[in-house]
Structure 1
Amino acid sequence: MESFTPISAMIGGVLIGISAVLFMLLNGRIAGISGIIAGVLVPGGDRADRYQRLAFIAGLFIAPFLVWLVEARPAVNFPQPLWMVVIGGFLVGFGTRLGGGCTSGHGVCGIARFSKRSIVATLTFMVSAMITVFVIGQFYG
């Protein structure tokens, strides 16, 4: 059963947009998750910046957990074997470093700034995702 509703999707999109704008206004940086994580993993650097990045990442886990506490808990069901999901996650991480950003950095923030580089990157990962889903669907569909 699908739970998609246009209203909830629109509200979620607006919240993501507001968050990205606030992050840019308050920090002067793009809210790209891969860049934020990379900044935590690189040794050295500004301690306050590292704590801010860690707080951002913690919020990515804490917020859904808080919703999970008050909402009905849906069953987690992977459509593909778990090993494929794990390998896919590593490939996405590799792709974000190769492409110089992720969906939040390029797709949300970059396109909003009319960055040609981000538009090309977003088109590339969207087409790559469609091809991957099609090919995997042929074997596991």
Structure 2
Amino acid sequence: MFSSFAIALCGGLLIGLAASLLMVVNGRIAGVSGIISGALWRSESAGSAIGWQVYFLAGLVLSGLLLATPLEAWLAIEPVVISARGIALPTLLLAGLLVGLGSSLGNGCTSGHCICGMGRLSPRSIAASLLFMLVGVIAAVLLS
């Protein structure tokens, strides 16, 4: 019914809108690694109330769950199935740790640098985004 391009375009527009709204309404950058960090390691001065980070992360998960079945039925698209067959659990854990380490060393992840930072024309984010893509291409070529 709809092309993959149209679905990807709508998804990209929604991500950009959400990142812009978070910046305008809350004055925060929608960098998911920083949001997760803020949700997990809240400071003593933040108090015991649930922070906005928890609501943001819950919205990410719940919106995906709520839209998964209707989109599949309405748009007649095949769901994406991610499988780790053939990859050992220690390899997956090491990969996750390396991604977390890289996100920490790079002061952000792809959502913060590629979506928000490049949108603000940040030279540091542009350099980080180019490096992310270069390493991704190299890894894909070497591991495929």
Query: TM above 0.5, one fold?
Result: yes
Once the two structures are TM-superposed, the CA of residue 48 in structure 1 deviates from its matched residue by 7.7
Cα 1:89/1:109, change in 2 over 3 Å: same
Cα deviation 1:31-80 (Å, max 9, x = unaligned): 00011111122242424885210011111211111123433573443475
Structure 2 counterpart of 1:101 = 108
Percent of pairs with identical residues: 40
For 1:90, which of 87, 97, 100 is the aligned residue?
97
> Distance between the aligned counterparts of 2:115 and 2:26, measured in 1?
17
How much has 1:25 moved relative to structure 2? 0.2
- AA matched with 2:36: I
Instruction: Render the CA deviation track for 1:83-124: whole Å, top value 9, x for unaligned.
Output: 344432222121111100011100000000000000000011
Point out the more displaced range, 64-73 or 120-129: 64-73
Q: Which amino acid aligns with 1:55?
A: Y
Q: Which residue of 2 aligns with 1:6?
A: 5
Query: TM-score scaled by structure 1?
Result: 0.82
The 5 A counterparts of 1:71-90 are 71=72, 74=79, 75-78=81-84, 81=87, 83=89, 84-90=91-97
Point out 4+ residue stretches in structure 1 off by more than 6 angstroms. none
Aligned to 1:27: 26
CA distance in 2, matches of 1:80, 1:123: 30
- CA–CA distance in structure 2, aligned partners of residues 123 and 104 of structure 1: 13
What SS is found at the alignment partner of 1:124?
Answer: helix
| Mean Cα deviation higher: 121-130 or 48-57 | 48-57
Alignment pair present for 1:65 and 2:71: no
Question: Runs of 5+ in structure 1 lacking a partner?
Answer: none
In structure 1, distance between residues paired with 2:14 and 2:137: 26
> Aligned equivalents of 2:27 and 2:49: distance in 1?
12
For residues 109 and 50 of structure 1, the distance between their equivalents in structure 2, rounded to whole angstroms, comes to 24
Residues 58 and 115 of structure 1: is their aligned pair in 2 closer, same or farther, counting only changes over 3 Å? Answer: same
Whether contact under 8 Å (1:39, 1:50) holds in the other structure is no
